[in-house]
Structure 1
């Protein structure tokens, strides 16, 4: 958690970046009644999310890597994580390949949430990631550990 936010008890600010207006609207509706969380904006394309993130400097960025006008979602993620070290990224995903999710986590995302789980888990995921933890469903933990062990064995 950012020290200034702790000291002043500022709300967790959230930027929603998804190519579908229905997803952006759903996320905003889910988060609106949550005390201590404030949606500060949304974006529908790669260039728009980068501009909005640079301007708004949100605590949390909810990011769909398949945004329109984005040739490489991983590159966008890496750019955002590099330029905005105090913004934490949670991926918004459809059922996707585990490899792609693992790559995104390695590029700086601190968690991911499946679209089908938004209603149930989005506010909790935002709070957990903002507090410095990761939000990764249990089934992915084993995959992440396997990847780490693979990397470790390659360096031996």
Structure 2
């Protein structure tokens, strides 16, 4: 396996779904499936043993569900990036999975090429959402009950420079580092530096949390 290969662990309680995902990922020479699990508990064990770069995680499974497995994996050193791939798009599933540490959330109706692309992006430290999921996140944080979180998000983002704020908003829009670099006439290295500073200043663990902060702050402005 060369250094550019991304290893993937497939987690779904339906063998047919796992077979389909294996075939999709096999079409990308830079991706390799190193293992499969039928429930969250098995996924955690295999992830610790195989140390994949990315775990493609279903949510509703026996023994331990995808949120619980994601939360447990997130506590480990050198934790793999978790990309949720599910049929469930309810707000509670989305927010629970992201709060547990998932780096991306896709619905199973996305094109196969989008799955492979998403695996590559989360492996590179970026965040990925289905378009409908982004819309639900915006609706969720616009709820009046989210006002205290919105105020806290606005204070966190106030610590950023104008340029860092622009990068944070681009991250929230789901843009990759390469896209941000091209649109803002910066090198990718500079974008990565900005993202690193944003994470530190806002106390965020990853790009997903930065995106949520931006959505919350926007809702605070009404």
Q: What TM-score comes out, normalization by structure 1 length? A: 0.83
Q: Do the aligned partners of residues 93 and 84 (structure 1) sit closer, same or farther apart at CA in structure 2, a change above 3 Å counting?
A: farther
Corresponding residue for 2:26? Answer: 32
Corresponding residue for 2:130? Answer: 137
Cα deviations across residues 107-149 of structure 1 (Å, max 9, x unaligned)? 1101112112152411111111111111112333344355567
Cα deviations across residues 86-123 of structure 1 (Å, max 9, x unaligned)? 40000011043122112211211011121121524111
Q: Do the aligned partners of residues 141 and 154 (structure 1) sit closer, same or farther apart at CA in structure 2, a change above 3 Å counting?
A: same
Greater Rg by CA = 2
RMSD of aligned alpha carbons: 2.4
Structure number with the higher strand fraction is 1
Counterpart Cα distance in 2 of 1:148 and 1:106: 14
> More deviation in 33-42 or 144-153?
144-153
Check if 1:153 corresponds to 2:151. yes
Q: What TM-score comes out, normalization by structure 2 length? A: 0.60
Q: Do the aligned partners of residues 75 and 95 (structure 1) sit closer, same or farther apart at CA in structure 2, a change above 3 Å counting?
A: closer
Which sections of structure 1, spanning at least 5 residues, go unmatched?
A: none
The count of corresponding residues between Structure 1 and Structure 2 is 149
Tell me, yes or no, if the aligned pair for 2:107 and 2:130 is still in contact at 8 Å: no
